[in-house]
Structure 1
Amino acid sequence: MWSLELALYKENEVYDFCSLFVCVCVCVCVCVISSRQMSLQACLDECMEALDLFLNNHFNESLDKLRPRSKESMYHALIYATVLEMQAMMTFQHDDIVHAGNTMKSAQEQLHAEVCYAECLLHRAALTFLQDENMVSFIKGGIKVRNSYLIYKELYAFVQSDPAFKGPNHKHLEGGVSFGIGAFNLTLSLFPARLLKLLEFAGFSGDKEFGISQLYTGATSHTLRSMLCALLLLCFYTFLSFILGTGEGEVEEAERLLKPFRLRYPRGAIFLFFAGRAEEIKGNIDEAVALFEDGCKAQQAWKQFHHMCYWELMWCFTFKKHWKMAYFYADLLSQESRWSKAMYVYMKAAYLSMLPDTECRPFGDNEVDLFRQVPTYKQKIAGKSPPTEKFAIRKARRYKASNPVRLPVPVLEMMYMWNGFSMISKQPELTEGMMETLLEAERTLQAAPENEYSVDDTCVILLLKGLCLKNQGQTQAAEDCFKQVYSSEKKVKFDHYLVPNALLEMSLLYIDTGKKEQAIHLLQKAKKNYKEYSMESRTQFRVHAALTKLKADTNDQDEITTL
């Protein structure tokens, strides 16, 4: 066991380069002496072998290789805890999360090398606000990892200032620094200005391009952190920039990064998954389905990888309007995954509601009964419910009535929350199919007696019709739909998210047609004038991404114009 105390940092303590150099050197010496006479090089080599096992789907063998030395070797402890963290993030089993947290905490207390300690802090923070995208949680998480950030900054300065300090294992140290500096800069660059101001006050800053360059360097360097750097970049390219951005994704970069990993790990489930995600974003739905199915077949040890694929397969069949197939995957998730049973049951009910009344329901399920069950599955992580789960529960409330008013297009509405209309934009026949569904729902709504939900339901359909029209190049018709939603602002009773999102979508339409100033005006309006609506964090991130794309001032300004 190691006994040095350099892992115990005070909140505001800053080390100069000399003391940092001494700390790193002493830690390396301690590691070499205390690892059952195992050299640092041997530790690193064995950990790299364990990572290869992991990426080739031999998950249990990977843990078996790491576990025996996880109490005495800093790198074994770090990689062992990291694998357990990934498992916890996929299972959402309370015992797995607690075990991963305790293992990472144990590693943190034992690790005296700066980069390992900082990395443990980063992983522990991720586990604390697992599954919650609430703004307050982002702030708390940011404050919690402040020490990690400061350590990475010091290490980066040290590595840059003394290029002569090289050795056979120096690339692993540089890889760790690239991961930390890259992760912080990239993540923080996504934050809206009002949140970033608070984080800057605590000493944080974010530079997207610099963060990406650091992560790409780490991902291509073949070190212990290559996998983490690659996975973070792939998440950014295929999820964060897509769902929390303006909807384009960065597929070419993702495929360029994936290529060497897929050559090295051709049956690696995690890389098959990201390859499927890239095809999905391009609108190649059949190719995406084949890759997700291959990802499920590639291994059977960790069913949690299957759940990731099931989720994407559910959406792939949604885009093709194969409601029963999509229902099948939602049902599988509701039975096997612990991420959000409320969300899965809501989606099951939503898919059934898209079927004609005369069509037989699978397994004898009934959508009204399922919608009524949704609130009973509400869960809390760190005292809060996930925003998507809150949204599903709010939408299902109308089914409490003995004779409920049906949701018009619940599947398409949830599809919008995950930016699915951007995915189908590449395939005209998919957009055409969705438009047919919306027109049919619109006719049904117009023929029904007016009720308290009529305005909200009409605005939902208008927002989604606008997106389809935009995909079809009918710019003016799309703009008219978004304007109609905005003009109904004072009549909307329940779905208050519709108005700021209509402004956001109209601004993205203006960006595409070169109307930069009008787009900025609408984005500022959407950012400033609307609060406490469903999925607010996600909308605010998208607004920030659009303003950043326009290179506009993302700070709060006085309201400029009205429509």
Structure 2
Amino acid sequence: MDAASPTGHDDSIDVHFRSGVYLGTGMSSLVITLMPAKVLTVVELFGYHGDRTEALSLLCKAGGWTSDSDEPTISESEEGVRRSICDMSLMVFHLFLSDFTFEGVDVSLAEKIIHWNAKRYPNGVFFLLGHGRLALMRSQPKEAIGYYTRAMEVQTQYRNLHHLSYWEMAVANLALWNITASLECWRVLEKESTWSKAVHTYGMAACLIEGSVQSDEARSWIEKVSGCRQKVAGKSIPAEKFVARKARKYLDQRWLMLPAMELAYMFLAFSRAPRDVLVNRMLVAIEECLKVLREKGSSSKGYWDDWVLARFLEGVCMRYVAYPDPHALILPDTPPVAITQEEAMAASIAAFEAVFENGPKIELDHYLVYHAHYELGRLLACKGDIDEARNHFDLVLSGKYLEVGPSGRKGRYSMESALHMRAYAAMDALGKRPL
């Protein structure tokens, strides 16, 4: 009917029906575009097809959102009943699902949607959560924590929404390298939430180990990690498999190198961290650990796993010092860092090359080599070296063993599926948008 109208918009169509069509058609098409390639092939056999650009456009139409205007073209009096759901769907895609994809992501649009809805619903818990995630993506974790705290204060009926705030605050505090505050968030999650007991328990133990205090308490929690694992449709949760492996490693060698920082990397806290935190806190902690390793010597148990982990984390830190996340907002009053972009980039490349050089010596943490190729690929893409970046992404996706240590690794490495998802997304975005 819209197509038959001279203006492209038939006013006789009920606005509530229209918003429902936009929501249903847009969301179904968007979900299809997020499916893995193997599943997508089967879905397309039944005639279903996803177009991300069209899907996002339909969801935007419900509220009248455009890229060239800060205000929507559809007012409150003209909107359909499902307009707010469309707005929240856009917010979730641009701010949460953007962790795994680059195509179609527009954080600026999400910011417009959040600001407009925040004026309309100042105590709306979902938009407060969105505002917190927006601040986190802008590398403003302190502001994010304020929004998450507010989201918990405005409602007490749904405790699970509090748990979402606590999870985000745990990651935000890791981005600030505030281990004590992150520990308190993990404690609440371990006590109350049933989402992923293994991850919550390990997060608490990792912060205790990182703080070098209460080692007996840390060990008692570590011992519970494997028993807390859950399965979904008969499949293990990748993050729980990862923390279970780290827990077994701790019980075997009685210590872990930078466990909270390693967890921060897995939950993307590095990309949310302010540059001064990366340089003045995280890098300092890494250097202290490298100093300890040099004193222990390479003959100590687990030395090369710890050494490679420390160098890998050093490379990631320097990578974000050289090229902050594209969505990060660097304000004029942001404290300067005493390192140039060229120095940070050179240090990052050197650290990743050290990971590749010593990768064959790894006994357990084989995932580090693959993630190092991915992170170096993103760094080179930021630098403008597209061909070399593609080579590193190809290595990650090749299925080849990029290292063979003393244990002769067989099978999958930790978080392999998540890394492949991000590597595919990065490959698609090469040369099109910042990584």
Q: TM-score, with normalisation over the residues of structure 1? A: 0.64
Unaligned runs of 5+ in 1: 1-158, 553-563
CA shift for structure 1 position 342? 0.9
CA shift for structure 1 position 384? 2.0
- Equivalent position of 1:252 in the other structure: 108
- Equivalent position of 2:368 in the other structure: 498
- Equivalent position of 1:21 in the other structure: none
Structure-1 separation of matches of 2:209 and 2:254: 12
1:390 aligns with 2:241: yes
- Equivalent position of 2:70 in the other structure: none
1:415 aligns with 2:246: no
CA shift for structure 1 position 246? 6.2
1:354 aligns with 2:210: yes
Based on CA coordinates, which of the two structures has the bigger radius of gyration? 1
3-state SS of paired residue (2:236):
coil
Unaligned runs of 5+ in 2: 65-73, 323-343, 401-410
Q: Closer, same or farther in 2 for the Cα pair 1:427/1:551, shift >3 Å?
A: closer
Pick from 59, 69, 75: which aligns with 1:215?
A: 59
Q: Closer, same or farther in 2 for the Cα pair 1:492/1:177, shift >3 Å?
A: farther
- Equivalent position of 1:467 in the other structure: 316
Q: Closer, same or farther in 2 for the Cα pair 1:484/1:246, shift >3 Å?
A: farther
Structure-1 separation of matches of 2:352 and 2:41: 31
For residues 459-497 of structure 1, give each alpha carbon's deviation from its aligned partner in whole angstroms, at most 9, with x where no partner exists.
Answer: 221211101111222112211212222233433222222
Q: Closer, same or farther in 2 for the Cα pair 1:225/1:452, shift >3 Å?
A: farther
Summarize the alignment of residues 51-200 of structure 1 with structure 2, pairs less than 5 Å apart.
170-191=14-35, 193=37, 196-200=40-44
1:331 aligns with 2:187: yes
Q: Closer, same or farther in 2 for the Cα pair 1:194/1:521, shift >3 Å?
A: farther
Instruction: Name the structure where helix makes up a greater proportion of residues.
Output: 1
- 504-513 or 519-528, which deviates more: 519-528
Q: Closer, same or farther in 2 for the Cα pair 1:265/1:520, shift >3 Å?
A: same
1:436 aligns with 2:316: no
Q: Which amino acid aligns with 1:538?
A: A
Structure-2 separation of matches of 1:381 and 1:258: 33
Q: Closer, same or farther in 2 for the Cα pair 1:249/1:213, shift >3 Å?
A: closer
3-state SS of paired residue (1:408):
coil
Query: 1:372, 1:399 within 8 Å by CA — same for their partners in 2?
Result: no
- Equivalent position of 1:237 in the other structure: 94
- Equivalent position of 1:224 in the other structure: 81
Q: Closer, same or farther in 2 for the Cα pair 1:186/1:405, shift >3 Å?
A: same
Structure-1 separation of matches of 2:260 and 2:371: 17
Query: 1:462, 1:481 within 8 Å by CA — same for their partners in 2?
Result: yes
3-state SS of paired residue (1:494):
coil
- Equivalent position of 1:301 in the other structure: 157
Q: Closer, same or farther in 2 for the Cα pair 1:263/1:410, shift >3 Å?
A: same
Structure-2 separation of matches of 1:332 and 1:519: 41
CA shift for structure 1 position 339? 0.4
Structure-2 separation of matches of 1:398 and 1:484: 23
For residues 10-58 of structure 1, give each alpha carbon's deviation from its aligned partner in whole angstroms, at most 9, with x where no partner exists.
Answer: xxxxxxxxxxxxxxxxxxxxxxxxxxxxxxxxxxxxxxxxxxxxxxxxx
Q: Closer, same or farther in 2 for the Cα pair 1:184/1:498, shift >3 Å?
A: farther
Pick from 517, 522, 525: which aligns with 2:395?
A: 525
Q: Closer, same or farther in 2 for the Cα pair 1:417/1:429, shift >3 Å?
A: closer
Q: Closer, same or farther in 2 for the Cα pair 1:291/1:480, shift >3 Å?
A: same
CA shift for structure 1 position 365? 6.5
For residues 339-390 of structure 1, give each alpha carbon's deviation from its aligned partner in whole angstroms, at most 9, with x where no partner exists.
Answer: 0111111000000001134xxx4xx961111111111111122222221111
3-state SS of paired residue (1:472):
helix
Pick from 343, 356, 375: which aligns with 2:199?
A: 343
Structure-2 separation of matches of 1:505 and 1:247: 19
Structure-2 separation of matches of 1:448 and 1:201: 59
- Equivalent position of 2:338 in the other structure: none
Pick from 532, 537, 540: which aligns with 2:420?
A: 540
Query: 1:246, 1:508 within 8 Å by CA — same for their partners in 2?
Result: no
Q: Which amino acid aligns with 2:225?
A: V
Summarize the alignment of residues 23-34 of structure 1 with structure 2, pairs less than 5 Å apart.
none
Query: 1:296, 1:306 within 8 Å by CA — same for their partners in 2?
Result: yes
Query: 1:469, 1:478 within 8 Å by CA — same for their partners in 2?
Result: yes
Q: Which amino acid aligns with 1:309?
A: S
Pick from 356, 380, 397: which aligns with 2:231?
A: 380
Structure-1 separation of matches of 2:212 and 2:301: 24
- Equivalent position of 1:367 in the other structure: 218
Structure-2 separation of matches of 1:246 and 1:503: 18
RMSD: 2.6
Summarize the alignment of residues 478-493 of structure 1 with structure 2, pairs less than 5 Å apart.
478-493=348-363
CA shift for structure 1 position 292? 1.0
Query: 1:310, 1:329 within 8 Å by CA — same for their partners in 2?
Result: yes
Structure-1 separation of matches of 2:164 and 2:212: 29
- Equivalent position of 2:340 in the other structure: none
Structure-2 separation of matches of 1:248 and 1:499: 29
Structure-2 separation of matches of 1:462 and 1:248: 33
Structure-2 separation of matches of 1:376 and 1:197: 37
- 162-171 or 309-318, which deviates more: 162-171
